[in-house]
Amino acid sequence: MNDQACLNHSDLDELEKYDHLLDPDQQDRLSAIRYRIKNYPDRFDRPRQNYRLYAGILAMAEFKPSQRLCSCAINNHGCRVWKFCPYCAWRMKMELLKKFLTKYGQHKWYFMTLAFEGFLSLYPGLGDNLALYWDACVYAIKRMVQEGYFKGAVWSEELHIQSFLNYEGQPHVHVVIMADALPMANIELLKTYVCEYRGQTYDPQQGVFVPDDDSKVTHTVSTRTRPVKTRFYFANVLSYLAKASDLSKPYQRDFKDAMRRGRGAVAELNQNVTEILNGFADQARNRRQIDYKGQLDARSSTKFVGVKKAARSLKSHYANVQNILKVENLEHGGLDNPDDPETYGSAIEQEAQASVESTVYGA
């Protein structure tokens, strides 16, 4: 092996073995990663976290926030790049839990994933406009709140990477909704609003959303919605909004494919990773990534139903939240996929489709 571009970036042992091939910045970042895994295992080496599998990918990529990411928690400074940092994601998760977890049982909650059929192109400069798809989802959520179908919502903008080799991914949004009810008619209305998005912004003087351009999503919108029926599930979905992205799964899948073609294809894969991550950073720049609307927004709502800042900063409140997580066996992270039908049953959309088929076919 004589070319660092052909290394398996998800294998920290291989990267350490060929440390002499790396440039000084890469060596420093990998040294910081090993230090943090060894000295802060509760932050960077928890079960199912997979940080040690994707940290090398971030360290080796010429990714703009890499230095901050790989130095997070050293001298107790957070990097704030929580989309890829498990420690900063944990901090964001705890903020959400402190705001809302103790409010379970006082309101009706739903968890929804807004996504699109097929995969978008992540090719740098020539791929799809990811921000347009996030914007369309956010517009639809805000409009549902504005029109009273939702009492409030908190959401996170995500990017699922299907393939680094093929530049394929899927922007989507996870949203926790507070509403008296969420029938299929309202879900279909939400999907209609996603499809009709044309750059609308809200005009408070007219009290309406005003179109701004002709851009529109071209992929079919899809939803998966579940009522939140247990406190465990509520803690899980709130936590899921702030999960760090695990890059190891698509990378390792692509690495196996690349190896079948030779180490030259691995170099191509590693270059694609840098291009896709920097493209994501450019499109996500200045976006809130987690945001609030309606009665879940402490900034603008006089009817905010969450725990206010002064109360949630108390040690007693933090201890209460931690105790709930312990009771629900979530104190060490948890984070089951809340969209998993085997664990959490059919989504509202699936139940509605089954009801239609039962009526049509007499099943």
Is position 338 within any domain? yes
3-class SS string, 82-115: CCCCHHHHHHHHHHHHHHHHHHECCECEEEEEEE
Structural domain tally of the chain? 1
Rounded to 5°, the CA angle 152-156-159 comes to 150
Q: Given this model, what pLDDT does residue 355 score?
A: 64
pLDDT per residue, tens digit, the chain (363 aa), is 567 778 999 999 999 999 999 999 999 999 999 999 999 998 898 877 889 999 999 999 988 888 888 888 876 678 889 999 999 999 999 999 999 999 999 999 999 999 999 999 999 888 899 999 999 999 999 999 999 999 999 999 999 999 999 999 999 999 999 999 999 999 999 999 999 998 877 666 766 677 777 788 999 999 999 999 999 999 999 999 999 999 999 999 999 999 999 888 999 999 999 999 999 988 888 888 899 999 999 987 678 999 999 999 999 999 999 999 999 888 666 556 777 776 777 788 888 877 665 555 554
* Confidence (pTM): 0.90
Q: Given this model, what pLDDT does residue 85 score?
A: 92
Is position 298 within any domain? yes
Is position 177 within any domain? yes
Is position 48 within any domain? no
Is position 144 within any domain? yes
DSSP codes joined into one string, 2-54: --GGGS-TT-HHHHHHTGGGS-HHHHHHHHHHHHHHHH-HHHH--TTT-HHHH
Is position 32 within any domain? no
Is position 162 within any domain? yes
Phi-psi region of 50 (alpha: psi -120 to 50; beta: other; left: phi over 0): left
Q: Given this model, what pLDDT does residue 178 score?
A: 97
Is position 202 within any domain? yes
Q: Given this model, what pLDDT does residue 216 score?
A: 87
Q: Given this model, what pLDDT does residue 42 score?
A: 87
> With contact defined as beta carbons under 8 Å apart, do 121 and 168 qualify?
yes
- Residue span of the structural domain in which 148 resides: 98-245+282-349
